[in-house]
Amino acid sequence: ADFPSSRSGGMGKVGQRKGASLLSYPAQGLHHSRSFAPEGDIYINLEAVRKCVCIRIVNTFLDGGQTAYTIWVSDLESGREWYAPVRYFQDFLDLRDVTNCEATADLPFPFKRWGVLPSIGSRDVSSPWKSKDPRCNQLEQFLRGLSAMVYRGPLHPKIAEVAFHLQSFLGCDACYEAEENLALHHQVAVSEASYWRKEFLEGHNEAQTETRLHLKQALQRYVYRIFLLPVLEQLTSRFIEEVQKQAPSIEEMKTLEKKGRTSLKDAALQNLEKLQGFLDQLQDLLLEGCEEDMRSISDHSDFSTLKNFMTPGADNSYRATLYMEAIREQVEIEAYVPLRSVMSRQLVNGWRHDDMEMQFKMQELQKRPQSYFKINPKHQSPTDWCSVSKILREGVGHSTLPCVKLRAIVDAAKEISRLYIEEHSQSQSQHESSGNHDKKPGTHDGREVLGADDFLPIFIFCIVRAEIERPSALCVLLQTLCHPSKRNGETGYFLASFEAAIEHI
């Protein structure tokens, strides 16, 4: 059910909080499905419980004298991410009341008036000056603790009920028809690319593509559970707190800018490189330590349709790519997302003048036809490369994780080739039948394909039409956070093309 403070539009402008009212969880009703095994063990139906939900409070702001919280959510089972309806402290109190049971008693929760309230049954009292925002940190730990109950805490009869309350709080309803079904409330702000990556999996049929997606999600859910281990959770939390404490304030950034634009850029790059080193080391550590488990998961009979890709005689890079993709995505969820606002603030301010110039130029260039970009007339698209611009706009511009943005750049580049072949197949057949092979950059299955000199003007045109915000700062982010193993391959090549396009503009 909707909380009293829920507003349509999720992250949009909100007004004063309405009067408190009784809450009903969840909107579709609770399905109590408990039975007892012959031994007396409790059986709880977790069919509609989202089992891998990543939660971060990414922003706070004042609304009518109250602190409002912006909550970012990623559901690994469905692969979707969204922003929960704007919540206030009273909403958290309501959630705590309805989820209060023995299994949640030890979860930390901030006191309304004084810094931090110690965990129930714990003697550890955190001082408010130990963190920039102790209440926000404690609220985030409370939500993440509720989400991880299914793995961490002892089995409790109310575990499913608690999960349903949390899901409703985050803006999603329980779905009983299928596990991957996820019904989002109308108040949430969905942040995801709507294009589907199936078509970009070369050499896979439909069943193999679907299986690969399920395997990648299974591997990522495994990595999610690894991050619940205290040693990894503490390691990541300490790093996040250190970076947040050392991040320059707005006044400090103004002081750096007075020394010259390069001073502000150098400071931003230094902090970004520190994050890059942590992400890369964490990824390499998990790949080395968990490879055996991940191999065991991928060898399961559920993924047998991919055996031709993963047999000992097959290309070993297939497994490695899949493992690294799953690990990197979860590593960025755990370590990049909580620092995203910190890093973005530095990058946006450091490259502000570059992006102001870019915005002006791109607004003018959006009015220009393909011929203005010197795209060969015989290579021009009758659809103005709309599908490519859509991938760039949604996959690069609207997605959260840098690794997803990088994949979207590769997908967009491949879509150029695919769309060109599709739209020009008939004219190419006529061209080849006439015996005229002038300026033929290459062939694919007997069909003409674009060469590098023909590709770049098209890519520039698509980037302009995609209306990506702050492309200069984005280039710095992606170039810095791209894993070294990706820089020399396909991802590195198309990232270099993306940077060349931005530089050309």
List, for residues 269-283, the tens digit of each pLDDT value: 999 999 999 999 999
| The model's pTM | 0.83
pLDDT of residue 152: 84
**Average pLDDT of 225-243?**
94
115 close to 134: Cβ distance less than 8 angstroms: yes
pLDDT of residue 64: 87
Angstrom distances, CA of residue 156 to CA of 48, 160, 162, 331, 465: 16, 9, 10, 30, 53
User: Which tokens in the block code for residue 80?
Assistant: 């979707």
pLDDT of residue 192: 52
Which of 75, 80, 88 has the alpha carbon at shortest distance from 17? 88
pLDDT of residue 106: 87
Provide, rounded to the nearest whole percent, the portion of the chain with pLDDT above 70.
Answer: 77
The more confidently predicted of residues 308 and 383 is 383
- How confident is the prediction for the chain on average, in pLDDT? 81
Q: Does the pLDDT value for residue 215 go beyond 90?
A: yes
Which of 284, 61, 105, 319 has the alpha carbon at shortest distance from 212? 319
Largest Cα span, the chain: 85
Q: Does the pLDDT value for residue 5 go beyond 50?
A: no
pLDDT of residue 314: 53
The residue to which tokens 């060349």 are assigned: 500
If one counts every other C-beta atom within 10 angstroms of the C-beta of residue 77, the result is 18
The SS3 assignment for 289 reads helix
pLDDT of residue 124: 38
CA angle 188, 192, 196 (to 5 degrees): 135
pLDDT of residue 328: 97
Tell me how far the alpha carbon of residue 245 is from its chain's centroid.
Answer: 24
Q: Does the pLDDT value for residue 17 go beyond 60?
A: no
